[in-house]
Amino acid sequence: MSLERPDRVDDDAVERTPDELEALLGDLVVDRDDHLNAPGFVIRPDTVQETLRTLKEQAGYDHLSVVSAQEYENRYESIYHLKKYDDPTQEVSIVVPADKDDPVSESAEPVFRTADWHEREAYDLIGIEYDDHPDLRRILLPETWQGHPLSMDYDKDRPQIATLPEHANPLEDHHKDAESDTMFLNIGPHHPATHGVLHLKTVLDGEQVADVEPDIGYLHRSEEQMAQSGTYRHQIMPYPDRWDYISAGLLNEWAYARAAEDLADIEVPEYAQVIRTMGAEMCRIAAHMLALATFALDINGDFTATFMYAINDRERVQNLLEDLTGQRLMFNYFRLGGVVWDLPEPREEFFSKTRDFLDQPPESVEEYHNLITSNEVFQMRTIDTGILPPEVAKNYGATGPVARGSGVDYDLRRDDPYGYYDELDWDVVTEDGGDNFSRLLVRMREVEESAKIIEQCVDLLEDWPEDERNIQANVPRTLRPDDDTEIYRAVEGAKGELGIYIRADGTDKPARFKIRSPCFSNLQTLPEMANGEYIPDVIAALGSLDVVLGEVDR
Amino acid sequence: MGTAPAQLFPEFIVDTLGLDSVIGEVAASLVAAFVVGNIILAFTGVAGPWAKRKITAAFTDRIAVDRIGPFGLLIIPAAAIQLLAKELIIPEGVDRPSWDIAPIILPSSALLGFSVIPMGQLGPINLHLADPEVGFALVFAFASIASVSLVMAGYASNNKYSLLGGLRAVAQNLAYEIPLIVTAMSVVIFSGTLQMSGVVGAQTETLVTIAGVSIPSWYALVNPFAFVLFLTANMAEIGRNPFDIPEAPTEIVGGYQTEYSSAYFVLFYLGEFVHIFLGGAILAVTFLGGASGPGPESISFIWFVVKIWGFFLFTQWARAALPRVRIDQLIEIGWKGMLVLSFANLVLTAVIVGVIA
């Protein structure tokens, strides 16, 4: 796999106007197709690599967030949403139309490794073929699937047969010589440590991993298509809860809320933003606690006390979320323009419960440090294993605690502020190790930062004047954003950059709804961490990535 | 040497019932073995479905089984019925009969070990089946048969996870058996005998008297360093955390027991628990004065029970608290650390005993 990294240019952080970018790209640009969030340049399908390389090397756009693809009446289209890790508010969209009858487009994989999976998904669901792609296979659906479900001529009624072929050993021939032999091992889809239905095709050389390939799609539920068949106002909001279902619900809802509110130009009242911020950070604590718990399970083995302790702590924040939203898992609490209801009455009780909880974390965090991070066996197991260098992390589009554990200082709450985050006092946590231990440490420290945020929110909410408690902006009963407006917006979910791309077509339903899942990109880095390591380290690396398969597969 | 060894259990039966023939002696031995074996199996029955859950629950802030019977104790028969009533699934391509023999070898080898363990007195009965002169060597020999079972199970299961588990089991047992036995040898240097009763007897002498209370010369007190070494190697020998890597459920599913269900699974589980108790028994005999303790000699069995359950508790504690080491780290600790330390301990003990005595 290519790890080479082009030399960075000094003027990375310099913001360029759309016209300057157009001048930089010169003849490559065929047309302009601006999106609400970024300037968009239409290019020819055979100049994808050249364009992206120019932007990456000469303008510092080093983060390919997502590749979204769709079919129009007269063409196919792939959009490469580019950002900068140093400043994610600087965005640019590269729009690549492809021929309706023969949709072929050049692959971006040689420039951005992360394009590998994203383009496979576009091929799988839409049907665009990518030239020069190293491994253009279906990714979410079975190999034998007929047709591309999100394309226009897809026949829903056609019966599909998914066979169960015997797995071939992908490395056997060229990885074997007279002295050595490898063994192919299926880890999952049912395995105690895959955290859901994930299938790792693993090639072992003794106990060491020669090659590992994540095979995903077991939990694919057509979330994008379901969102496309729901109306903006109310019918889409319940779905985000089901992506990263490990109690990160409010964080996910915010991703849709932010994209749709910016698309329809809805202003959210400040009071609602504070409630959203508080709820979202509670979700983050719950999600990180579960990540900590299951990571301890992977390293310590079943029946470890750490697991139950962390679950207990998560339970307490879960109770607060239940008080706030009325639900424990599928919250459905956000509405476009606000939240569904105000804090539970009596407010004092909720505040005092929350404060009780906030008083506890420092103590319990201390206990986790005693139990795991300062345990020497634990350190032996996690330090310097599963290493993800920062440049590789960026190349794969890794975000969230995974990127921050590799020292990539990237957090959308601070870098692309939304909600009430920029008014509050908190820090972005990074660790430079890039190993399993660093990623765990980042999560543990983020829990403390989240607690800080919640505390400030509680202070604010307590003193909020009663007549200004507006939880909901005025939003039309039916939302019909203008035809042909497109937007990509992301928030900092529990696992990283959770983005939504929406194209409106003038109706009350999105014409294209694309989810940028942080787990999807993060999981792609697993082979980088795992190759050459021992099986237990692969399990540890997977645990430290903290993927939720509901979000990977969507 | 301390008090003269009491009459062995089979001899006691022969004398009491007056069975003065070869057949009588054989019958008495079988009856004695039956009683001892059942005591251990009863411990296992309590430990597996009930005590283990309760202990783990106590460590992890939970309640565990409490629905059936007082303190949930009736879960024991319920679990027995449930486990035995399950379908025995025989996967395609398993290598029979070794696949069937493996689950029998594990509990039997561990049970065999108890034949030479002096388990203390219960009333007039001395729960000690045999006391051969090489008893100390014998018990380690019995205990190490277990690895044969694990390799057989791992190989015969026709499953890659099982194979990995079997390989891990061999590597682990090789790396830890040697330090275990070398450390045990340092005890033999103290006691001067390989006979179990002799090893235990040597520990009844008074080491030091503090304020009228005489502390016995248990080898754990005489040589704590050897005790810690032995304890660590013992944990690896019986495959408990942090050395449970032959099973390692989060890595290799269940290791050698992945493909076993129903009665065979029970036998494996049983074998593991008997093995833990045997590990505790060896530890008690070697370092904790066997069945000795305060109070009359006639109830010393109770002390033995306390000691082996104490060891069981310790394994559960380690399981709740300690991370698992990685296979290469385990081998490294075994060969580069434990082996060197155990030989250093042996030489040092030999020199000290040689100079002082």
Tens of pLDDT along B70-120? 888 898 999 889 888 888 888 888 888 888 999 999 899 989 888 888 888
- pLDDT tens digit string along A486-502? 899 999 988 999 999 99
* Reported confidence tier of residue A10, pLDDT bands at 50, 70, 90: very low
Specify whether the CB–CB gap between A324 and A371 falls below 8 A. Answer: no
Q: Which candidate, A282, A283, A291, places its Cα nearest to that of A405?
A: A291
In this complex, which of B62, B160, B251 lies closest to A308 when CB atoms are compared? B62
Q: For residue B241, which residues of chain A lie inside 8 Å, CB to CB?
A: 300-301
B336 touches chain A (CB under 8 A): no
* Reported confidence tier of residue B3, pLDDT bands at 50, 70, 90: very low
Name the amino acid, one letter, at A386. Answer: G
A-interface mutation test, from B56, B161, B250, B336, most A Cβ less than 10 A away: B250
Specify whether the CB–CB gap between A385 and A435 falls below 8 A. Answer: yes
* Reported confidence tier of residue A477, pLDDT bands at 50, 70, 90: confident
For chain A, how many residues are written? 554
CB contact under 8 A, B62 and A298: no
The distance of B42 to chain A (nearest Cα, Å) reads 24
B320 touches chain A (CB under 8 A): yes
Q: For residue B326, which residues of chain A lie inside 8 Å, CB to CB?
A: 380-381, 534, 536-537
B93 touches chain A (CB under 8 A): no
The first and second tokens of residue B13, run together, are 């039966």
pLDDT of A3 reads: 40
B1 in a structural domain: no
Q: Does the pLDDT value for residue B251 go beyond 50?
A: yes
Q: For residue A191, which residues of chain B lie inside 8 Å, CB to CB?
A: 253
CB contact under 8 A, A193 and B251: yes
CB contact under 8 A, A381 and B242: no
Name the amino acid, one letter, at A29. Answer: V
Residue A338 three-state SS: strand
- Chain B residue with the nearest C-alpha to that of A368: B321
Q: For residue A308, which residues of chain B lie inside 8 Å, CB to CB?
A: 60-62
The CATH number for A223-526+535-546, chosen from 2.40.50.140, 3.40.50.2300, 1.10.645.10, 3.40.50.1100, is: 1.10.645.10
- pLDDT tens digit string along A93-126? 999 998 888 888 888 888 898 999 999 999 999 9
Q: Look at chain B and report how many structural domains it folds into.
A: 1
The distance of B154 to chain A (nearest Cα, Å) reads 15
The CATH number for A10-131, chosen from 3.40.50.10540, 3.30.460.80, 3.40.50.620, 3.90.226.10, is: 3.30.460.80
CB contact under 8 A, A301 and B61: no
Question: How many interchain CB pairs under 8 A, A with B?
Answer: 84
Tell me whether residue B38 is exposed, middle or buried, using C-beta atoms within 10 angstroms of its C-beta: 0 to 12, 13 to 18, 19 or more.
exposed
- pLDDT tens digit string along A364-411? 777 888 888 888 888 888 888 888 999 999 999 899 999 999 988 888
Q: Which candidate, A430, A412, A431, places its Cα nearest to that of A422?
A: A412
Angle at B330 between CA B324 and CA B334, to 5 degrees: 140
- Chain B residue with the nearest C-alpha to that of A303: B320
- pLDDT tens digit string along B175-184? 888 888 899 8
- pLDDT tens digit string along B288-346? 887 777 777 778 888 889 999 999 999 988 888 888 888 888 888 889 988 999 999 88
DSSP code per residue over B167-220 = HHHHHHHHHHHHHHHHHHHHHHHHH----HHHHHHHTTSEEEEETTEEEE--HH
pLDDT of A312 reads: 86
B325 touches chain A (CB under 8 A): yes
Pick B137 or B213 by higher pLDDT.
Answer: B137
Interatomic CA distance for residues B205 and A271, integer angstroms: 78
pLDDT of A257 reads: 92
CB contact under 8 A, A302 and B244: no
pLDDT of B208 reads: 74
Ordered by start, the domain boundaries in chain A are: 10-131, 223-526+535-546
CB contact under 8 A, B250 and A381: no
Q: Mean per-residue pLDDT for B221-225?
A: 83
Specify whether the CB–CB gap between A260 and A476 falls below 8 A. Answer: no
pLDDT of A502 reads: 92
B-interface mutation test, from A377, A379, A380, most B Cβ less than 10 A away: A377
- pLDDT tens digit string along A220-278? 888 888 999 999 888 998 899 888 888 788 999 999 999 999 888 888 998 999 999 99
CA dihedral A366, A372, A377, A378 (to 10 degrees): -130
B3 in a structural domain: no
Residue B306 three-state SS: helix
Q: For residue B320, which residues of chain A lie inside 8 Å, CB to CB?
A: 303-305
Q: Mean per-residue pLDDT for B220-241?
A: 84
Where do the DSSP E strands lie in A84-240?
92-99, 104-106, 129-131, 183-187, 199-205, 208-215
Angle at A472 between CA A468 and CA A474, to 5 degrees: 110
Q: Does the pLDDT value for residue A164 go beyond 80?
A: no
DSSP state of A421: G
Residue-range definition of the domain harbouring residue B27:
9-356
pLDDT of A136 reads: 87
- pLDDT tens digit string along B57-71? 888 888 888 888 888
In this complex, which of B160, B245, B249 lies closest to A302 when CB atoms are compared? B249
pLDDT of B309 reads: 92
The distance of B322 to chain A (nearest Cα, Å) reads 6
- Average pLDDT across chain A, whole number: 85
Q: Mean per-residue pLDDT for A305-326?
A: 88
The distance of B252 to chain A (nearest Cα, Å) reads 8
In this complex, which of B160, B244, B325 lies closest to A185 when CB atoms are compared? B160
B332 touches chain A (CB under 8 A): no
pLDDT of A361 reads: 67
Q: For residue B328, which residues of chain A lie inside 8 Å, CB to CB?
A: 207, 534
B4 in a structural domain: no
Q: What is the CA radius of gyration of chain A?
A: 23
B141 touches chain A (CB under 8 A): no
In this complex, which of A297, A301, A536 lies closest to B326 when CB atoms are compared? A536
* Reported confidence tier of residue A169, pLDDT bands at 50, 70, 90: low
CB contact under 8 A, A534 and B322: no
B2 in a structural domain: no
Of the listed ranges A20-34, A77-91, A387-401, B166-180, the one predicted with least confidence: A20-34
Question: What are the residues of chain A with a beta carbon less than 8 Å away from any beta carbon of chain B?
Answer: 183, 185, 191-193, 207, 297-305, 307-309, 312, 371-372, 375, 377-378, 380-381, 534-537, 539
In this complex, which of B248, B252, B323 lies closest to A378 when CB atoms are compared? B323
Interatomic CA distance for residues A268 and A439, integer angstroms: 34
CB contact under 8 A, B320 and A303: yes
pLDDT of A176 reads: 56
B328 touches chain A (CB under 8 A): yes
Largest Cα separation within chain B, whole Å, is: 68
Q: For residue A377, which residues of chain B lie inside 8 Å, CB to CB?
A: 242, 322-325
CB contact under 8 A, B319 and A304: yes
Of the listed ranges A151-165, A501-515, B137-151, B269-283, the one predicted with least confidence: A151-165
Q: Does the pLDDT value for residue A177 go beyond 60?
A: no
- Average pLDDT across chain B, whole number: 85
Q: Which candidate, A441, A448, A370, places its Cα nearest to that of A405?
A: A441
Q: For residue B242, which residues of chain A lie inside 8 Å, CB to CB?
A: 377
Specify whether the CB–CB gap between B116 and B138 falls below 8 A. Answer: yes
DSSP code per residue over A39-93 = -EEEE-TT-HHHHHHHHHHHS---EEEEEEEEE-SSEEEEEEEEE-SS-TT--EE
Q: Mean per-residue pLDDT for A328-334?
A: 89
Percent share of chain A, pLDDT over 70: 94
Cα–Cα separations (whole angstroms), residue B132 to B117, B137, B195: 11, 10, 6
* Reported confidence tier of residue A161, pLDDT bands at 50, 70, 90: confident
